[in-house]
Structure 1
């Protein structure tokens, strides 16, 4: 199914993006614009009078007009083994030069198989030698998870092409085919991580999306979605974190309590399912890039729940980190020793933004 309406699967993590660890490994042609642009985290832009020595500058992947047999394609390594639930193929600003059709194939490759892919020279066409080397992967025979599908041009009302994927298998690499040539601005690959279970004596980030962590609910995401909090690398800016709107019920005048703390009303929250149940030993709350808009305090609670969290149900949350004052543009670490939990709830007061959270602990059986 393809359509222009936003789908539920976009609430999941994007495992092709640069910020989660995705990487372009091969492309048949990068003449006008390199395929690395496909997996950039930023929204595509258009600069009317910007040109390069090759032609019009475009914020996406654009190949030359095909004048030889075949069609163009590229291989993207996903951040982790994952089940792909859906895709967004964004043709923004490619109006007379968008790829007319596309398809997606997928594979589960070993490190040895990945080494067969020749070293990439971004910004040029692949040589006959490169094509010969990459042919050893037989990527044209990979599992087709999206058949040849028409693409709409990159006008605002038609640019976002959403596609649901039915396969339940986990994949490490995808092949994006365009028919026969043209441009795509961005590719988003939404899914669920399927990592190997770490040994019980290994300290791991239990909430990381690479370990299967998922955001299951939140109160407000006006400027940035809380799923950004569990990305594996440091945040690149405020847009790469979780930021709420300013609460309308905040006091007209901020007053202090006798102990020096400030009086605020209201709070915002986000709930995360851990990739593995476990005991949290260390917590990190990073306010990087949030300087005039960080929360006053943060609180973290845990829950042991064998099923998915439901916003309408009543749960007895256990305290892991009591309300703790935060500071601007700073990484805050806390030593903890929680019970075995499957979910955490991060509550900020009264509002604001944080960049990343880490929940380091040991995997345990429920």
Structure 2
């Protein structure tokens, strides 16, 4: 059974003057918490269609921040909710006033990057008595630019990754996914109707090898190209995964920032590249980190294709960084599968870009893996 949490039934009605999340139900930790959200808007994800969004818009599903609740906010259609909410379903007449067992609402979600899904969270925060009784989720592979009509065509093959399962209101309902397949789109179904605040889709990016081969030179550590943060010394203020998000940082917490060190050590992040590659250019950005940027940085590369204990080779010596600045370096680096950036003594960076290309070995490994996931 893929259900990780077992929240069912209504939550208590909101008590006037209380903290909206005070009685919110969620697990302390999930087995896929450390993976990237493939449905992150910052990666290019979107909700491309829904059969109904009478009370609240489908696009709210993918807002990165937690859902908010304003008990005083009403509109012409009723209570304004921060999520996707459909009207109440009805039967066909006085003799059959209830919806049938097969009646349900749906939304089509385009992932920000193709990937292997390991877990989902269907979050019903603040939907206490108006959440769906059950949900199910299907997945398919299609061009990222596929239209709703394309996705709803009779020739599209959908794979059920979460069977119809009862869920709870005002809760983070979590599910593990065991389909070892590469997917690009989801169909989120709610049975028979109701509201869902947020959808999170945790997994591993599986980029298109043909696209990367055509590009030749690309950012080898970018999330959208399959780069991964494997570990970091400190995640106190903001997560290191921010450093490989698309685009420029927009504010201070849109990068990676550590707590203040009171010892003689230094902070670091270790990344796994798309595949074995050769790095030719490095970009370290400290945007919006003004009084708290890292003072110096050094970069090291490792080629685990030759073994997990391969030597770390210096690519960029310890170099002074300026606050709120883009730093660019041309480098002569050996083939690598992993990199580590060391910052001294603490602080943060907003983005790390590593430009280069796959080796023949890396290109073959990526192609073989994609073929395996698409079979």
Contact 1:273 1:308 in 2 (8 A): no
Residue 224 (1) aligns with residue 226 (2): no
Distance of aligned partners of 1:329 and 1:171 in 2 relative to their CA distance in 1, 3 Å threshold: same
How far has the Cα of 1:275 moved from its partner? 0.7
- Paired position in structure 1 for 2:372: none
CA distance in 1 between partners of 2:316 and 2:121 (Å): 37
Residue 208 (1) aligns with residue 231 (2): no
Residue 144 (1) aligns with residue 160 (2): yes
Distance of aligned partners of 1:138 and 1:67 in 2 relative to their CA distance in 1, 3 Å threshold: farther
How far has the Cα of 1:173 moved from its partner? 0.4
Equivalent positions of 1:67-82 (< 5 A) are 67=90, 70-82=103-115
- Paired position in structure 1 for 2:312: 317
How far has the Cα of 1:135 moved from its partner? 4.0
CA distance in 2 between partners of 1:101 and 1:232 (Å): 34
- Paired position in structure 1 for 2:285: 286
Q: Which of residues 253, 276, 279 is equivalent to 1:239?
A: 253
Residue 188 (1) aligns with residue 183 (2): no
Q: What is the TM-score with the length of structure 1 in the denominator?
A: 0.83
Contact 2:304 2:310 in 1 (8 A): no
Measured on the aligned residues, the alpha-carbon RMSD in Å equals 2.2
Q: Say how many residue pairs are matched.
A: 326
CA distance in 2 between partners of 1:90 and 1:288 (Å): 32
Q: What is the TM-score with the length of structure 2 in the denominator?
A: 0.81
Contact 2:205 2:225 in 1 (8 A): yes
Q: Which of residues 176, 186, 189 is equivalent to 1:174?
A: 186
- Paired position in structure 2 for 1:45: 68
Q: Alpha-carbon deviations, 1:282-308, whole Å to 9, x = none?
A: 111122222232111222111000389
Equivalent positions of 1:14-29 (< 5 A) are 14-29=37-52
Q: Alpha-carbon deviations, 1:236-294, whole Å to 9, x = none?
A: 33333222122233xxxxxxxxxxxxxxx321111110012111111111222222321
Residue 297 (1) aligns with residue 275 (2): no
Distance of aligned partners of 1:137 and 1:110 in 2 relative to their CA distance in 1, 3 Å threshold: farther
- Paired position in structure 1 for 2:31: 8
CA distance in 1 between partners of 2:143 and 2:333 (Å): 36
Structure 1 runs not aligned, ≥5 long: 119-132, 250-264
Residue 160 (1) aligns with residue 176 (2): no
Q: Which segment drifts farther, 215-224 or 88-97?
A: 88-97
Contact 2:162 2:177 in 1 (8 A): yes
- Paired position in structure 1 for 2:96: none
- Paired position in structure 2 for 1:277: 276
Structure 2 runs not aligned, ≥5 long: 6-25, 92-98, 362-375
Contact 1:15 1:21 in 2 (8 A): no
